[in-house]
């Protein structure tokens, strides 16, 4: 057992940290926030050139064949700068789902272009009523000649306007009420995309409605009706990935606070010498380090295909969600009036923290799930 990073992993972290520091400073983030889609094609290209799109995917499909540990490292560094863009949707939501659900031929069709930076994807899972189980899926795919016609509405679909491929979870008549995944080309007739206005402007969310969108059978990812277990695993991986981003954000807020506490003076002394602020900073570090431990352990479980992945994913998501929201909230408080301004970055982290905390299951949801997994109730 060696619960520390290898020199190669440290190198990836160093490279990612340097990349985002250079390519994604606050000015860039704020510029993208003001834009329509919170996505930069230029940054996307550069990330693809570095090989990050295919980081975790097998070499036979054009990836680098690395593990969830390396992916979490890159995601953590992205979270540190609040990097906008479709990386999470494409690689974590779309790519990892294709990786576990799609046939080899489908992987060549969609995963390889993702690895090459030629295709962007997203996942259309949630609907009007928040419900984590398959019962929540009401979008239907009617059997028609040679394929399906999909109808219904999805909410909270990230990056739908830039994704080339929307992976949609729907129920078909032929597979009774079980869930099937469809690969839907965004440009097909009947796909209507409406932006949602969000508190966290560093990410774009959409309502996607499907009006009798026709797809052929080759667009069924994996087997008809067999999607739910695969979705479950993909959501665990996504929860780990999102938690890694949250850890990165928490680290940034803490760094920001420590810097401010060391320079700002009141009552003739640095405010960082006031014990109540010192103690809150110490608690911020404790929460950040503990969230790291949870994310790294879950990432290891994912890369080992360990049976305790669901437990560790829920631990990571529940803990990081509460830690990040608390830390970012304290971040505002420690900065005083400055912390309440649009100009200061800390509110961007607070808003991202709140958004992340509610995404892919909040802390209460993951604790409820854990209770079941560890034999309560």
Partner 1 sequence: MDLKYTPEEERFRNEVREWLQANLPAERPEVSESENMDEWMAFLRNWQRKLSDAGWAGIAWPKEYGGRGAGVNEQLIFTEEMARAKAPNLMNVSIGIELVGPALMHHGAEAQRRRYLPKILSAEEVWCQGFSEPGAGSDLASLQTRAVIDGDRFIVTGQKVWTSWAEYSDHCILLVRTDASAPRHKGISCLLVDMRSPGITVRPTRQITGETEFSEVFFDGVAVPRENLVGEINGGWGVAMTVLMHERGTSAIGYQIRLRSELDELMELAKRIEKNGRPASADPLIQQKLAQSFIEVEILKYNIYRSATQIARNGSPGPESSIIKLFWSEMDRRQKEVAMELMGLRSQLVRGSKGAVDHGRWQRAFLWSRAGTIYAGSSEIQRNIIAERVLGLPRG
Residues that bind partner 1 (CB under 8 A): 1-6, 9, 69, 254, 258, 261-262, 269-270, 272-275, 277-279, 281-283, 285-286, 289-290, 292-294, 296-297, 299-301, 304, 306, 311-312, 315, 318-319, 364, 367-368, 370-371, 374-377
CB of 64 to partner 1, least distance (A): 17
CB of 194 to partner 1, least distance (A): 35
If the CB atoms of residues 125 and 302 are measured against partner 1, the closer one turns out to be 302
- Please, is 229 exposed, middle or buried when counting C-beta atoms within 10 Å of its C-beta (0-12, 13-18, 19+)? exposed
- Please, is 376 exposed, middle or buried when counting C-beta atoms within 10 Å of its C-beta (0-12, 13-18, 19+)? exposed
If the CB atoms of residues 181 and 346 are measured against partner 1, the closer one turns out to be 346
Token look-up 């899972």 returns: 125
CB-CB contact of 361 with 310 (8 Å):
no
User: How many beta carbons lie within 10 A of that of residue 278, not counting itself?
Assistant: 13
If the CB atoms of residues 133 and 377 are measured against partner 1, the closer one turns out to be 377
If the CB atoms of residues 97 and 323 are measured against partner 1, the closer one turns out to be 323
Give the separation between CA 140 and CA 138, rounded to whole angstroms.
6
CB of 70 to partner 1, least distance (A): 9
Give the separation between CA 243 and CA 235, rounded to whole angstroms.
12
For residue 181, give Cα distances in angstroms to 1, 107, 167, 257: 38, 14, 6, 44
CB of 309 to partner 1, least distance (A): 12
Nearest to 215 by CA among 135, 122, 151, 137: 151
CB of 286 to partner 1, least distance (A): 5
If the CB atoms of residues 77 and 159 are measured against partner 1, the closer one turns out to be 77
Residues paired with residue 195 on neighbouring β-strands, in sequence order: 206
Degrees, nearest 5: CA angle 74-76-82: 105
CB of 37 to partner 1, least distance (A): 35
If the CB atoms of residues 42 and 275 are measured against partner 1, the closer one turns out to be 275
CB of 83 to partner 1, least distance (A): 23
CB of 273 to partner 1, least distance (A): 4
If the CB atoms of residues 103 and 293 are measured against partner 1, the closer one turns out to be 293
If the CB atoms of residues 71 and 213 are measured against partner 1, the closer one turns out to be 71
If the CB atoms of residues 97 and 312 are measured against partner 1, the closer one turns out to be 312
Helix (H, G, I), strand (E, B) or coil at 192: strand
Token look-up 């760094």 returns: 255
CB of 281 to partner 1, least distance (A): 5
What residues contact 193, with CB distance under 8 A and at least 6 apart? 160, 161, 186, 206, 207, 208
If the CB atoms of residues 177 and 265 are measured against partner 1, the closer one turns out to be 265
> Is beta strand 205-216 parallel, antiparallel or unpaired with respect to 147-158?
antiparallel
Q: Sign of the CA dihedral 262, 264, 269, 272? A: negative
CB-CB contact of 348 with 331 (8 Å):
no
CB of 92 to partner 1, least distance (A): 19
User: How many beta carbons lie within 10 A of that of residue 1, not counting itself?
Assistant: 3
């Amino acid at each position: 057992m060696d619960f520390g990073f290898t020199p190669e992993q440290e190198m990836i972290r160093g490279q990612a940290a340097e990349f985002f520091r250079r390519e994604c400073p606050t000015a860039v983030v704020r510029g993208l926030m003001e834009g329509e889609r919170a996505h930069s094609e230029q940054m996307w290209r550069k990330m693809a050139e570095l090989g990050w799109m295919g980081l975790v995917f097998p070499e036979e499909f054009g990836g680098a064949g690395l593990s969830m540990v390396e992916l979490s490292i890159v995601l953590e560094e992205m979270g540190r700068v609040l990097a906008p863009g479709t990386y999470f949707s494409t690689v974590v939501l779309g790519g990892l789902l294709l990786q576990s659900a799609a046939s080899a031929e489908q992987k060549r069709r969609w995963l390889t272009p993702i690895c090459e930076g030629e295709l962007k994807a997203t996942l259309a899972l949630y609907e009007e009523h928040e419900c984590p189980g398959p019962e929540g899926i009401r979008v239907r795919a009617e059997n028609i000649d040679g394929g399906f016609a999909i109808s219904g509405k999805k909410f909270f679909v990230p990056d739908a306007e830039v994704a080339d491929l929307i992976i949609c979870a729907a129920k078909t008549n032929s597979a009774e009420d079980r869930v099937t995944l469809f690969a839907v080309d965004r440009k097909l007739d009947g796909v209507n995309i409406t932006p949602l206005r969000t508190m966290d402007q560093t990410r774009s969310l959409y309502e996607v409605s499907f009006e009798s969108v026709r797809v052929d059978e080759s667009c069924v990812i994996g087997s008809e009706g067999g999607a739910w277990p695969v979705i479950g695993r993909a959501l665990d991986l996504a929860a780990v990935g999102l938690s890694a981003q949250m850890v990165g954000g928490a680290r940034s807020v803490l760094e920001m606070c420590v810097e401010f506490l060391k320079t700002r003076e009141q009552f003739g002394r640095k405010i960082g010498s006031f014990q109540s602020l010192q103690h809150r900073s110490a608690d911020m570090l404790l929460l950040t380090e503990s969230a790291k431990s949870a994310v790294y352990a879950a990432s290891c479980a994912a890369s080992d295909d360990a049976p305790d992945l669901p437990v560790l994913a829920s631990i990571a998501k529940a803990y990081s969600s509460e830690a990040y929201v608390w830390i970012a909230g304290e971040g505002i408080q420690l900065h005083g009036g400055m912390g309440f301004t649009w100009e200061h970055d800390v509110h961007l982290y607070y808003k991202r923290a709140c958004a992340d905390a509610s995404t892919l299951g909040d802390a209460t949801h993951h604790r409820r799930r854990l209770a079941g997994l560890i034999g309560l109730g």
